[in-house]
Every structure is written in structure tokens, then in C-alpha cells.
Structure 1
Amino acid sequence: MVVASAAKGEKKTPVTIDDRLQLFVDRYLIDALAGAELRLHSPQPREVAIPFDRPWEGPVSFYVTVRVDGDTYRAYYRGQPGVGHPEVTCYAESKDGIVWTKPALGLYEFQGSTENNILWMGEGTHNFTPFLDQNPAARPEERYKALAGGPLIALCSPDGIHWRKLRDEPVITQGAFDSQNLAFWDSARGRYAAYFRGFRDDVRAVLTATSTDFLNWTEPEWIDLGDSRPEHFYTNATTPYFRAPEILLCFPKRFVPERTWNPEHGHPGLSDGLFLTSRDGRRFDRTFLEAFIRPGPDPENWTERNIGIAYGVVPTGPGEISLYWVEHYRHPTCRLRRGVLRTDGFVSLHAGYAGGEALTRPLLFAGKELVLNFATSAAGSVRVELQDEKGKPLPGFSLAECPAIYGDELERVVRWRDGADVSSLAGRRVRLRFRLQDADLYSFRFRG
């Protein structure tokens, strides 16, 4: 199969990618596909990371945030033994994102003792959601920031442990805040961005606002989901991808209120996790309508409000990234599960044994070599061709001059017969033609 969209010679606006990492999470870079597809990959479940088993935690613990700061992984979550009991904000930490401890912080008293991991007992414990502020202008005493409560209040901390309000008055007042409402420094666009719940035509939806100082926010707007059918997004877990921060990853917990799997549970509704992306912070791509994380065979996950994906995607090993989600909500075994993907492995450009091709839009790159994150079978392969913007193969970089690439690598340099140096093409409008057979291509970048 051959992609032929550019053969007519039509000119299209080039995409400037320079030396930035490019992922196939949507069709933004793709001009044409033939025999290939974008394939969503679900995280592979691993161990129970954090059981919510302390007396102040319990079966309705929820709204988890996971972040890494230097060599310390930090988890924040709501602890609540049951409906009607006090809510507290709890803390756990790890050196690898796999084995977690709950340090005795000595900050707040619970049943006569401060030997607990309670981090916050002030306003906003229901949905306290912090982040490590990457704004280069952030003050040292405000390295961490958080949104909490409803209306939303702003908090800050120098170390992620000791918190105070930035001001008494709420900073965002328009919305319906019974959710995990979050914010982060959007380095690609030079502003703070917040994503929080609203109801649109009686459906749980997501609002967004931006700020330059974390205190004064723009008028909230609905995120744009195109023409996709409205679904309840109970949470959103929107975060920049740490390897490509211009891409926002969004992991809504889809809530299906009309379904009940276990009538004896007493609470209606089922949930799973979704995968969306955005390249501008407001328009979110729904290429994948299917579940990113299913409830699976565990019957305790087939009750309401499970599979709540935590806010945060973190590296946990060579070639591995981790996500976390809440299981067994409203059950005595309520806990946080870890799941893993290969680095950049959310979506791949995939072709089966019959083979397939993809052609990109015209690109403007910087660098001297092309690097792929890919995997093939023993009989599979990837080949790459560089074309001019009209679709004509460039001498020295045609498909016929690219030896078959096979294996499973995160950073494989593409070589043609005369070598790997593509610096002569930097700054020119070029297209990439990928030919795959029984292969997955997760990302690429020009470097050097």
C-alpha cells in the first residue's frame, strides 16, 4: 500500500517541529494513511501502590495526585473512612514510584495522636490537588501550589509538605467543584492553566481558565470536544507530558450513571478511564472513544466511581512510565493501583504483517539525525523516506535507500545507504514517509 496524498503536489502549511519529540497521539502530523492506523495502548496493571488502610483513610479515599520532585515521588490524596466522617488530605512518598511509605508528619492530630500522614486539615480537604510549579518566576516559598475546595482556593508550599493559603478569598468561583479540580504551569504557552468541573446540559463536563499569577483567572470556558457525543467526565487529570510539554494528556474518568452491575452495592453507575490530548489547551482530540483503562475482571471495580486515574504521569524506570488509578472505591479494600507503559507508549502508528504506510504533513526540523521509538516483530520492519513538500523522494533518503529497521528500541537512529546525517535538509520543508510491517512507531524526533 502506498500513500499518495502529496503526489498531486498540493502545498500545505508546514509544521515547525525543530528538535522536539513528536508523538502519534492524534492525526496532527499525519497527512495520509494507507494500511496503517493509530492504535491506543492501555497501561499494564502492576502492584497495588498504596492501600488506603489507615483509620483516617478508608473506602472513599480518592482524588490522587502523583508527582516526582528530584529523587522523591510524592502522592497526595483524600482520606475518608466513610461518608459522614471527616475528610483529610494524606501524603505518601517513594524513591522509585513503586514502593511507597506513609511518613509520620506530625502536623495534625487524629484521635489524640499526630503520628499520621495527614498533610492538611484545613479548607479544601475534599479535593486538595497540588502541583510542582515549573514557572521560572515562582518564588521559593511557593514552589508548590494547589487548588482545593469549591469555590476553588489557592494554596502554596515551599516543600510540598507545609501548606498555607495564598489568600482567603477563592480564586475561581464559576463551576461545580465536586471533582478533582487541578492546575499546572503550562510552560509551552507561558501561563497557568486550570481544569475543573462544570455541568453542561446536566452532563458532567470540563471547564478551563488561565492565569499569569495563579490568583486572577480568565472567564471559564468549556473545553472543545468537537462533535463527539457528550459523556460524563467525572474527573479530567489533565497534565502536560513531561517529555513533550506542548502536548496535554487528559485522562477523564468516564461515569456511566445509568448502568448497575451489582444491584446489591446500593450505588448506581460504572466508570472507566479515557485518553484525550490537546495541543492548544482548549481543543481536545477524541480520536479514541474506547476505554484507555477498563474495570477488568475484578468485581470490586464494577461498582461506581472506580478507575479514577490519578493526576500525574511519571517515569519509573528505563523505558517505563507509570500511571495510577483508584480501585475498589467504597469497598474496605480501596486502594491505588500502578500501571505501566513504555516511554511515549500511549499510542502507536501501527501496521500489521500485510504492511502499511503513513505520510506526514510538510515539516520544518532542526538537527542532524532522525531518531525513532519503535518495536517490530522478528519478521517486521520500519523504513523511512524523506520527501520534498510535493511528495518527491529526496536523493539519498528514499525508501529504497533505507535498510530495514527492526528490533525494539527507544532511540534508534535512522540510517540510509550514505549514512544518518540529515542536516542538509534542516530548515527545508520535508515530509516523512513511514513504511511499517508488523511494527509500531511510538514517537520520533530530530536531534543533534
Structure 2
Amino acid sequence: MSLFLFLDDWFLDAYSDVVRRFPTARYVRHIEPPEAAVGTKRPHWNVARGCYEVAATSANKNLFMMESADGTLWERGPALKLRTVGDVPAGSALNLDRFYGTGGFDARSIVLHDPHDVPERRYKLLLFPYVRGIEGGPGVVDCSADGTEWTIHFDYRWYTQPKGSDCTNCLFYNPRRKVWQAICRRWNNDRRIAMTQSADLEHWSEPRVIVQPDALDSPLLQLYGMPVMEYEGYFIGGLQCYQVPHREEGPAPWSKWAGFVEGQLAYSYDGELWLRPHRNAFVPRNEPGCWASSSVYPVTLRPDGKRFLINALGPRGHHASKRQESRLVEYELRRDGFAYFESLGNFGRLVTRCLVPNAGATVTLNYAAPDGRLQVQALDAAYAPVPGYTFAECSPLTGDEIEGGVRWKSRADLSPLAGQRIRLEFRMADARLYAIRSDCKLGYTALESPIDWL
């Protein structure tokens, strides 16, 4: 394990005079589509080509993709090639235009970059390529080597429940379980977060609920969808929380249709057990009169230099509003900035549970202390400071760094402590600590050998 976030206390042994805070993502802008855009007219991020793209139509009504590196200047993208393999499901009428995203946001998913698979399946997306969209047949997997030539595999049927999965369906690979996992709904209009998984893309499990509204949520909360990002061993979810009214006269008496959506934070250490550290907005709605003012649906989370970029669907009207037009909007968050500890008053203190450094392990911190400082010392398993690694020998860290290296007078890494149980103690004043990076195993169990991960 190399990245330690402060989403909970599991890696900590003690702390005092610090407080944990959970930041909210900051609205940056909306992406205006080109005039030729069709369908939903909502661009999305193409991880294969590293740009925004949106479906457009030519004068003779042919579909093509337009691209933009910055979300402002648009140009025609390369010609896409689409083929199918396997038998089309009986009774299903195809509409391959669904691949371009001309239908609802649930008809196709965001592209997954999958370095764990063979080259010809390097990029993947989930698709319902039917005239009737999600109700036209089973959900299938679309694969590509380069993001330009795509193959729809009708034998990769990831979702077979009737009427499809009407949410932001999301595919990701779990390297710990060695399976692909798809976030979906258990049933159509069952607004909870479910998951199905497969070790070979061909045989998929039945969807099972993994996140359910509970008593800590606001009254009558429903969960719309949850895009997932695998990030340095963690799984981070942008949970779409749907707040419905207590009474409404909607188009169907068996469900609620009005209300607003905004994003909450969810996370997992293994991709299966999902946790929510709080119930506040992680991706909040925008100001009235702006895109994303009534609802915001997170759809992608991705690292971008020293920050995370969160792309979301941002309508102005609520869920059942007659004004259904929306834009792709961007929010940003500090890299690793899902949670941080902030010192109170004088010096705050944190101590980790026992870690076992690997050979050559260094310690780097994501911190902000422009008017303060942080120092680190190593303790043995009995809490005694280790000579050569004490506070007195640690060069103070100041400023604002995403990966600020820790050094001691005669030590630049933890090599002399490799294989030993140690703790890291942090002393901080007027500072925020977002994350620790160090190549260590976990030594807090009673096993003879340390463990790599939870």
C-alpha cells in the first residue's frame, strides 16, 4: 500500500488537536456544445483520445463525432468504425446510433481505459444499442483498441434484467478481485446502487444492491447512480443523491419524478463494501439561473495534474421539469482532497498504526502550510522515537505541495527501517494534511507477515 487517505480512522492509532474536514468540489464552468451537436447535445470526456467529444450531424444527416481539447474549440474527429460480433438478441431491433450518445445518458456509458486487459479490448463502454434504448434488449459491452474502431460484443451481456438499467451505468476493473464490475440498478426505477461483475466479460452475476439509503440520509432520499474511479488502490464513487418531495402528482403514481440531484462522496477499499463518510454535498448544485442549479449528476472523476476534474450533467430544471436541456459542467477538487486533517491552535498530532516499510520507501505528503509547518518522526512499535528519524532531525515542511518529500538530517528514506514495524507521527501547526504516500505494508495484524492491503 502506498497511498493513505483520511476518509476514516482505520490507518490511524491516535490524534489530538486536529479536526477532519471534507471539502466540497468547486464549480468551474460548463462546456458549450458546437452548433452541429445532436441528440442530448451533451459532450463527454473521451479517455481514449484525451479530449471532449459530442455527436454531431452533417448536412446529409450523417452522424460523426466532434472533438475539443479544451471544451471551447471544436473540430471534426476521426471517422469511427463500428462492427458487431455475436448474435443479436431475439426480438431486439438495433439502432447503432445509440453508440454516439444520441439517446438518454443511460443508453451508453463513459469510456473505460482498461490497461489490465488485452490490447484489442483496451477501451470499453456499456451500451444498449436498440431502437427502444434500455428497454430494447440486454446491455452489452463495446470494446476498442484505440477508441476509434469499436466492436459491439452481443455475447458480453452484462445486464439482462427487463426494461434495462435507467441510470448512469459505469464499468470499472477491480484489480484486487480480478473482475470487471458494472454499477447499475437492481431493477428499472429501483433507485438504489447495484453492481454486477464478471471475470471474463461473458458471464455476469445477478445485480445486487451495494448502497442503500439509510436512516442517516435526508427523508425519502433515493440513489440515482454512482460513477466510480479506481485511484491508487481506492475506489471513489460520485453518488448521485435524488431528493424527492413528500407529495407530488407525477406522470406515474407508482414513483416520484420531481426533486433535485447532487453528488455525495462514497468510497471502497475492495470495490464491494461501500462506505459513506458523511451525508453532505460533495458535488453541490450551482447558483440559481446557472447550469447545474437544480441538479448535478457526477459522471466522471479523473486526475488532472494537481487536481481532480469532475464532469457532471448539469440541467437547470429539476428531475421532472419540462426544461430538460442541460450541459456538461466541470467541478474541481484538490488532488487527494477528499478529506484532510487541520491543526487546531498550536501543534496538532497524528500517529499511524504500525506500518512495515519496503526497501527504499520514502515519505511524501500532500499538505498545505503556507503560514505553518509539518514535521514527521518514526516511532517503534512501543512508541519510542527512532534515532535518526526524530522531530528534531526532520526538516520542517512549509508551503503547499501535492507530493512534498520528507527528509531527516541524515536520512532521505526509510531504507534502514525496511521490514520493521514502525509508526509515523506527524506534528503540524497552521497546516492541512491531505494524504501520505509511502511504500509500506500494514503491520497491525497478529500475522507473522504484514499484509499488503485490507
Q: Does TM, normalized by the shorter one, top 0.5? A: yes
Q: What TM-score, normalized to structure 2?
A: 0.75
Structure 1 residue 24 corresponds to structure 2 residue 43: no
CA drift at 1:199:
5.8
CA 1:181/1:37 → structure 2, altered by over 3 Å: closer, same or farther? same
Residue equivalent to 1:313: 302
CA drift at 1:177:
0.7
Q: What amino acid is the match of 2:67?
A: E
CA distance in 2, matches of 1:73, 1:444: 31
CA distance in 2, matches of 1:187, 1:340: 27
Structure 1 residue 397 corresponds to structure 2 residue 389: yes
CA 1:327/1:394 → structure 2, altered by over 3 Å: closer, same or farther? same
CA distance in 1, matches of 2:226, 2:312: 12
More deviation, 337-346/177-186: 337-346
CA distance in 2, matches of 1:33, 1:406: 21
Structure 1: unaligned runs, 5 residues or longer = 1-16, 80-87, 109-116
Q: What amino acid is the match of 1:145?
A: K
CA drift at 1:430:
1.3
Q: What TM-score, normalized to structure 1?
A: 0.76
Q: In the comparison of the two structures, how many residue pairs are matched?
A: 396
Query: Which whole-Å deviations, capped at 9, do the CAs of 1:30-49 have from their partners, x for residues lacking one?
Result: 22232223322222222322
CA drift at 1:225:
6.4
Structure 2: unaligned runs, 5 residues or longer = 57-61, 82-96, 129-133, 251-255, 318-322, 441-454
CA distance in 1, matches of 2:349, 2:215: 27
CA distance in 2, matches of 1:169, 1:425: 49
CA 1:227/1:45 → structure 2, altered by over 3 Å: closer, same or farther? closer
CA drift at 1:178:
0.6
Residue equivalent to 1:369: 362
Residue equivalent to 1:68: 47
Aligned counterpart in structure 1 of residue 241 of structure 2, from 227, 243, 254: 254
Structure 1 residue 148 corresponds to structure 2 residue 127: yes
CA 1:89/1:43 → structure 2, altered by over 3 Å: closer, same or farther? farther
Q: What amino acid is the match of 1:393?
A: P
Q: What amino acid is the match of 2:22?
A: L
Helix, strand or coil for the counterpart of 2:111? Answer: strand
Return the structure number with greater relative CO, CA threshold 8 A, min gap 6.
Answer: 1
Q: What amino acid is the match of 2:151?
A: R
CA distance in 2, matches of 1:254, 1:358: 33
CA drift at 1:287:
1.1
CA drift at 1:146:
1.6
CA distance in 1, matches of 2:63, 2:316: 17
CA 1:215/1:124 → structure 2, altered by over 3 Å: closer, same or farther? farther
Structure-to-structure mapping, 1:18-57, within 5 angstroms: 20-51=2-33, 54=36, 56-57=38-39
Residue equivalent to 1:3: none
Residue equivalent to 1:291: 281
Q: Does structure 2 retain, via aligned residues, the 8 Å contact 1:72–1:93?
A: no
Percent identical: 25
Residue equivalent to 2:375: 383
More deviation, 426-435/248-257: 426-435
Q: What amino acid is the match of 1:307?
A: V
CA distance in 1, matches of 2:284, 2:272: 26
Aligned counterpart in structure 1 of residue 175 of structure 2, from 179, 182, 187: 187
Structure 1 residue 134 corresponds to structure 2 residue 114: yes
Helix, strand or coil for the counterpart of 2:309? Answer: strand
CA distance in 1, matches of 2:378, 2:369: 21
Helix, strand or coil for the counterpart of 1:159? Answer: coil
